[in-house]
């Protein structure tokens, strides 16, 4: 028989070996946070011995047990069960039995070394429910747009005009600045590379194709997601927190038709024009670069419009229409699904921007594949 004693300022641990693989842990004193902190490691080392067959914990000398002491008991039982040993507890005062039962329920049930199941039935049901909500929202938005086109008198055109001004007119300065700078930067970078081969004349070709086919709709959609999409989510989310959406539903008014419809219509009407303005602003930046290296303006414009055809223009407009639908729809959806609390609107706004950027990237990749196979 061996005895090992560990002491802390408030509690003590005594270890007795009563037989081969049989260990008795005697805990005494106050098992509070200060005492358990020192007793935790030696107690678990005794419970994890490879030759352990039976572990008995006696608390006859414990005068006080708090949450830390109950956590130690739960950890000892889990360690003993994990080693395949029998566990027994004696001497626990009756007043602590209900608390110990609660602590055992709150303890993790996965055994050490066993892979934890990440996706269960509940997680898959939640994913399917979210997917169903997204599909239902897309369907409802499609019906709203179709009804607006077939019954224009039912549309609240004042709200559509207000949203169009917020989306398009107020974003023109930053749109023109970004477009001009991107055309300037891309032209400079292209000139640096192509002048080694005497191919500066092909800079307008590259700039026109890149801007009209790819960068114009992509950058405009990113600007829409970061500026207007976040505003949509914040506005509708604030209405959700203030219970204004519940008031609309109580009056029999659909929040999607009343709030989402005008925003989607304004995005569809304004964003293609924004893309064209962005493209021409980038061409102005490229023209300045070509003028600075000695090419006349007529050469730049003729090279651009000789290589940019209607397919590039209409393909760019089709892409930005899809991007605007995705950004406006997902932003309004996150606003409608805003929860309660002071930080709910901030979370919805962040989720709307991130989701919009992800959808833009995925859709742009799909368009690249489709345009390649259809030779557009």
pLDDT of residue 110: 46
Going by pLDDT thresholds of 50, 70 and 90, the confidence category of residue 267 is very high
Least confident of 22-31, 284-293, 341-350: 22-31
Q: Which residues pair with 56 in a beta bridge?
A: 24, 88
Question: What are the chain's domains?
Answer: 3-106 (3.30.750.24), 152-373 (no CATH)
Per-residue pLDDT band for 83 (boundaries 50, 70, 90) equals confident
Task: Say what the pLDDT of residue 11 is.
Answer: 62
Is the per-residue pLDDT at 207 higher than 50?
yes
Beta strands 11-19; 22-31: pairing state: antiparallel
Predicted confidence (pLDDT) at residue 51 exceeds the cutoff of 80: no
- pLDDT tens figures, 311-324: 888 989 999 999 99
Mean pLDDT of the chain: 83
**Both structure tokens of 148:** 């607006």
112 falls in which pLDDT band (50, 70, 90)?
Answer: very low
Distances (CA, A) of 62 to 13, 100, 101: 10, 15, 18
pLDDT beyond 60 at 44 = yes
pLDDT of 10 over the 70 cut: no
Q: Write the secondary structure of the chain as one string of H (helix), E (strand) and C (coil).
A: CCEEEEECCCEEEEEEEEECCEEEEEEEEEECHHHHHHHHHHHHHHHCCCCCCEEEEEEEEEEEECHHHHHHHHHHHHHHHHCCCEEEEECCCHHHHHHHHHHHHHCCCCCCCCCCCCCCHHHHHHHHHHHHHHHHHHHHHHHHHHHHHHCHHHCCHHHHHHHHHHHHHCCHHHHHHHHHHHHHHHHHHHHHHHCCCCCHHHHHHHHHHHHHHHHHHHHHHHHHHHHHHHHHHHHHHHHHHCCHHHHHHHCCCCHHHHHHHHHHHHHHHHHHHHHHHHHHHHHHHHHHHHHHCCCCHHHHHHHHHHHCCHHHHHHHHHHHHHHHHHHHHHHHHHHHCCCCCCCHHHHHHHHHHHHHHHHHHHHHHHHHHHHHHCCC
Residue 197 pLDDT level (bands cut at 50, 70, 90): confident
Distance CA 363, CA 270 (A): 20
Which pLDDT band holds residue 3 (cuts at 50, 70, 90)? low
Say if residue 4's pLDDT is above 60.
no
* Cα 367 to chain centroid, rounded: 23
Mean pLDDT across the stretch 45-63? 75
pLDDT, average across residues 201-216: 90
Q: What is the mean pLDDT of residues 213-220?
A: 92
């Amino acid at each position: 028989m061996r005895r090992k004693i560990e002491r802390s300022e408030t509690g003590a641990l005594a270890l007795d070996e009563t037989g081969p693989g049989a260990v008795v842990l005697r805990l005494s004193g106050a098992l509070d946070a200060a005492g358990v902190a020192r007793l935790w490691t030696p107690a678990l080392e005794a419970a994890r011995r490879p030759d352990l067959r039976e572990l008995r914990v006696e608390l006859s000398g414990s005068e006080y047990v708090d949450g830390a002491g109950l956590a130690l008991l739960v950890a000892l039982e889990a360690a003993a069960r994990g080693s395949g040993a029998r566990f027994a507890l004696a001497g626990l005062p009756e007043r602590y039995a209900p608390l110990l039962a609660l602590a055992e329920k709150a303890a993790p049930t996965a055994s050490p070394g066993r892979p934890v199941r990440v996706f269960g039935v509940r997680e898959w049901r939640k994913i399917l429910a979210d997917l169903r909500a997204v599909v239902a929202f897309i369907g409802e938005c499609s019906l709203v747009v179709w009804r607006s086109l077939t019954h224009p008198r039912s549309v609240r055109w004042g709200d559509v005009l207000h949203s169009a001004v917020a989306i398009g007119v107020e974003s023109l300065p930053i749109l023109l600045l970004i477009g001009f700078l991107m055309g300037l930067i891309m032209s400079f970078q292209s000139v640096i590379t192509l002048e080694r081969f005497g191919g500066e004349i092909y800079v307008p070709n590259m700039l026109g194709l890149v801007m009209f086919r790819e960068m114009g709709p992509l950058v405009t959609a990113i600007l829409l997601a970061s500026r207007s999409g976040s505003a949509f989510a914040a506005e509708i989310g604030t209405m959700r927190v203030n219970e204004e959406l519940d008031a609309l539903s109580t009056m029999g008014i659909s929040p999607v038709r009343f709030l989402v419809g005008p925003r989607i219509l304004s995005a569809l009407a304004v964003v293609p024009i924004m893309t064209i303005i962005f493209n021409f602003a980038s061409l102005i930046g490229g023209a300045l670069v070509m003028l600075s290296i000695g090419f006349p303006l007529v050469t730049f414009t003729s090279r651009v419009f000789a290589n940019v055809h209607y397919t590039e223009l209409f393909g760019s407009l089709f892409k930005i229409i899809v991007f605007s639908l995705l950004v406006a729809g997902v932003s309004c959806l996150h606003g409608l699904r805003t929860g309660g609390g002071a930080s709910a609107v901030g979370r919805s706004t962040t989720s709307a921007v991130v989701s919009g950027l992800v959808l833009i990237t995925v859709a742009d990749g799909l368009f690249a594949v489709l345009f390649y196979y259809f030779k557009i």
